[in-house]
Amino acid sequence: SQQGEEDPQALSIQEGENATMNCSYKTSINNLQWYRQNSGRGLVHLILIRSNEREKHSGRLRVTLDTSKKSSSLLITASRAADTASYFCAADYNFNKFYFGSGTKLNVKP
């Protein structure tokens, strides 16, 4: 069973707009990692945020973590058609064992 949830399940935006995805989890964690998946292939690592961090940036990505609410958000700024993919959060609950949500499907229209 899934121990995490992403919201929304699907998101469709125009190129250049920002995309925000939210993630909730159910247990205490060491860190939370975000991944991108294209067409059902492998997961591409985007960013890691540790439980003692509140915000992290990497290029056009901004991630926040609220451990009191057991939630995280991923913001992609100035989106591009190439950002079209499914995005997953992975909650590391024990030595790199992850709970995944069911993902957010992002469609960026050119």
How many C-beta atoms lie closer than 10 Å to residue 91's C-beta? 25
Taking CB under 8 A as the rule, which mask of x and - marks residues 30-69 in contact with another protein? xx-x-x----xxxxxx--x-x-------------------
- With contact defined as beta carbons under 8 Å apart, do 110 and 15 qualify? yes
Toward another protein, which CB reaches closer, 14 or 51?
51
90 near another protein (CB under 8 A): yes
- With contact defined as beta carbons under 8 Å apart, do 42 and 24 qualify? no
* SS3 state at 81: helix
92 near another protein (CB under 8 A): yes
103 near another protein (CB under 8 A): yes
Residues that bind another protein (CB under 8 A): 2, 4, 30-31, 33, 35, 40-45, 48, 50, 88, 90, 92, 94-103
